[in-house]
Amino acid sequence: MFFLYNLVVQSAAFLLKIVALFSPKIKLFVEGRKTVFNTLSEKISPSDKTIWFHAASLGEYEQGLPVMEKMKTQFPNHKIVVTFFSPSGYEVRKNNTIADATVYLPLDSISNAKQFLKLVHPEMTFFIKYEFWPNYLNELKKQNIKIYLISGIFRKKQPFFKWYGGFYRNALKSFHYFFVQNESSKKLLQNIGFNNVKVSGDTRFDRVVSILERDNSLDFIEEFKNETPTIVIGSSWPKDEELLIKYINQANDAVKFIIAPHNIKPEQIQQLKNSITQKTVLFSEKEGQNLADYQVFIIDTIGILTKIYSYADIAYVGGGFGNPGVHNILEPATFGIPIVIGPNYSHFAEATALVNMEGCITISNQNELHQAFDLLVQNEDERHEKGHICSTFVQMNKGATNTILNHILA
């Protein structure tokens, strides 16, 4: 099976180079991996002590960040190495301040795994949530390097739990310990013979709770809001915006809107702006403007949405009309804000929980969107009640990071 797997990896490496000629994202994927070993040689010396964290993309990085921060404090003389699989993670966080080296993870070939581990030589390795690369795991096991899965989530449909999943189950044997988000994941692992597992919860709660301790002020948002009830629309996609624009265009000036689209390509931002009939300003055009005069503020930049949520009275989180579904709802939830989302949220435990607790409203059509927003805009008590449910939910679920660290350091 390893032979077939490695043949697939080699074939994929060849095909990706061809696809890269036509796809900017795949080009980043391919080109970014060409300098990985040189970068590691420059930043990590043979005498360095290191800890390696691997994140598939941006969400997993944010999920692992509380553990990275704690490990950096606990092991100040160790260097932190962070790897990403996806360009959407690496390109956004390649200049992070937590890691001493941030690189793409080379494709999972035997030679890449050996070369990577020779250069990084980690004392401990953390895989965040998922991604199980057999050659890396096999080589780590051979070198007796402890591997931890943090904030792991397992589902019955995964190959590990199928009759044909022996190859994948063998990969899991490399892990020293599994820290999973829920009891069902623990039971699935126990059913296939893994008892080195603990329900620690989701480290994302620790991540968003820590946001409250930081300075979230943005002068230009405060100027725009001007003490007016404000709906913040985060990570919206065109399917979300089709419904949202109709509501925005008929809204009166008693409410303002901040839109931070998922995609900020100039042509799509301009198309979004042109579709809005209310007075609208872009982040890139805000200088010299009296922002209080505008009703809609489009954020055509990245990296400030979390702070913007702190000014929201209501949040709409996008992605719920697509696959795999809604984006991160925990960031607005931690600020005690009622949340509205689209119908595709069942893969996300926190969204399902908040919908069931009625802190989050789910909508599937134009009429339901209007009803949800009208209720929250017009009824301050309803806003506060749902917002309180959200903030309480986040506070009750924090602590995963300490559970993980206490076990590792025991």
Where in the sequence numbering do the catalytic residues fall?
Answer: 60
User: Which of 299, 328, 334, 304 lies closest to 316, judged by CA?
Assistant: 328
SS3 at position 280: strand
User: Which of 39, 38, 41, 70 lies closest to 53, judged by CA?
Assistant: 70
Residues 99, 47: Cα–Cα separation, whole Å: 17
Local structure of residue 106 (DSSP, 8 states): P
Contact 316, 240 (CB under 8 A): yes
Residues 79, 98: Cα–Cα separation, whole Å: 10
Residues 261, 211: Cα–Cα separation, whole Å: 21
Residue found by looking up tokens 């872009």 in the block: 282
User: Which of 299, 191, 143 lies closest to 235, judged by CA?
Assistant: 299
- What's the angle, vertex CA 205, arms to CA 77 and CA 174, rounded to 5? 55
